[in-house]
Amino acid sequence: MLLISNIRENHEEIVQRMKLRNVDVEHVVEKILAVDKRKREVQKRYEDNQHAIHISSKEIGDLFKAGNKEEGNALREKAGSLKEDNKLLHEEVNRLDEELLELMYQIPNVPHESIAPGKDDSDNVEISKWGEKPNLSQNKEHWVLAREYGIIDWELGVKITGAGFPVYRGKGAKLQRALVQFFLDEAEDHGYEEINPPFLINEASGYGTGQLPDKDGQMYHTERDHLYLIPTAEVPITNIYRDTIIKEADFPLKNVAFSPCFRREAGSYGKDVRGLNRLHQFEKVEIVQIVHPNKSFEILEEMVTHVKGLLEKLGLHYRVVRLCGGDLGFASALTYDFEVWSAAQERWLEVSSVSNFASFQANRMKCRFKDSNGKTQLVHTLNGSAMALPRIMAAIIENYQTEEGIVIPECIQKYLKFDILN
């Protein structure tokens, strides 16, 4: 959520900047300004009345203490009617507040100045590229290979749960676990504290990071207990800092978490959901940083470097793209996507997304710090996948295939008792 003061002061620029996202917020912004103005007027009246009530309450106290019942009772009656008026004003303030909040939730984050305009992922800007397409003697899709080696069973998942819940078994399960271990160790080497969070979250946490109210339909919801299954560890981890005031000296706060992720993915179809490309349940290692607002864009680059390192150690051909305005997430100010080359599918697969949310999440979460002048300011939050497992699995299976089996990349061999999967 944007700061209301920011909208008051910079609404013209905000409306302009949002055009990069292909959204027109002019109408909503106008409404916000009108409701905000009205709210402030009513609130002023309410507060002045409150003040008058306070004063007479004190007087009444004094009068009764002095034994002056007559005047006390007269004043009491007068205060009573003031109170009646104020009840209405208070209701009006609350109503306007709610209306304002609802409008504020409709405004996405302001895109960073480096963001290119555009409609969808075809307008994303390639920033860098590493490695080469592998030169293979055979070229089978990962779902074919996975079946051949018996490491992933989709039908079994369908039987137990439904489509999109594959079962990993034997060396497949071990390979995935080795990758998780590798990602966690790498994060630790970069100074991230490991967290094992809850996998179900309450409504307040959903609002904190921006999944609610916008993406309600994307999360699994447990009806009886009103909890949501996490779509990413970003939610529980970032919400650790909800309603807190951080010491400036503690910056940057760095956490890493491994978790399953649950997504309903309503409306997906076709080649996008083939094999491991898109699942309802998958595993991911997520990195989160809570930082000083002056540092966030610099730290975003640092996180990008971290993720690049992972892919390079795994020897996977990849490219980095900067999302265009139309593809940028609701809460994000700037996002880089990492895409790995899938040899058999002959296309890029998104394996990581690293974003700076600036103060957007912090404002919703009331996560602040005291600056050197003793003033409280909103922090900036960032997160990134490092990495999402299924598509990395897919890329390794495809890009490292040989007639003898799937060769295990060197950097994860130490976590396994085999160096070829066959």
Partner RNA sequence: GGAGAAAUGGCAGAGUGGUCGAAUGCACUGGUCUUGAAAACCAGCGAGGGUAACACCUCCGGGGGUUCGAAUCCCUCUUUCUCCGCCA
Nearest to 256 by CA among 321, 303, 215, 218: 303
Task: Verify binding: residue 57, RNA, rule CB under 7 A.
Answer: yes
- Contact pattern for RNA over residues 354 through 383, marking x by CB under 7 A: --------------x-x---x-x-------
The residue (of 61 and 117) whose beta carbon lies closer to RNA is 61
Q: Which is nearer to RNA, 94 or 196 (CB)?
A: 94
Segment interacting with RNA, rule: CB under 7 A, options 11-19, 49-57, 107-115, 269-277: 49-57
For residue 399, give the nearest of 354, 348, 352 by alpha carbon. Answer: 348
Q: Decide: 378 and 3 in contact? Cβ < 8 Å.
A: yes
DSSP character at residue 201: E
Instruction: List the x/- string, 224-263, binding to RNA by CB under 7 A.
Output: ---------------------x------------------
CA distance 287 to 255: 6
Contact between 410 and RNA per CB under 7 A = no
396, 369, 371: which is closest to 380 by C-alpha? 369
> Does 83 interact with RNA (rule: CB under 7 A)?
yes
Q: Does 419 bind RNA (CB under 7 A)?
A: no
Q: Does 184 bind RNA (CB under 7 A)?
A: no
Please identify, using beta-carbon distances, which residue of 73 and 128 lies nearer to RNA: 73
56 binds RNA (CB under 7 A): yes
> Is 50 one of the binding residues for RNA (CB under 7 A)?
yes
Q: What span, in angstroms and rounded, lies between the C-alpha atoms of 286 and 368?
A: 22
Closest distance of CB 77 from RNA, Å: 8
Say if strands 193-195 and 253-262 run parallel, antiparallel, or are unpaired.
parallel
- Which of 1, 79, 25 is closest to 363 using CA atoms? 1
Residues 6 or more apart whose CB falls under 8 angstroms from that of 415 comprise 177, 178, 181, 182
Query: Does residue 315 sit in helix, strand or coil?
Result: coil
CA atoms within 13 A on the CB side of 109: 28
Binding status of residue 65 toward RNA by CB under 7 A: yes
79 near RNA, rule: CB under 7 A: yes
Distance of CA 43 to the CA centre of its chain: 33
Contact between 199 and RNA per CB under 7 A: no
Q: Under the criterion CB under 7 A, does residue 295 sit at the interface with RNA? A: no
Pairing of strands 406-407, 152-153: unpaired
- Closest separation in Å from C-beta 72 to RNA: 8
Task: List contacts with RNA (CB under 7 A).
Answer: 5, 40, 43, 46-48, 50-51, 53-54, 56-58, 60-62, 64-65, 76, 79-80, 83, 94, 245, 368, 370, 374, 376
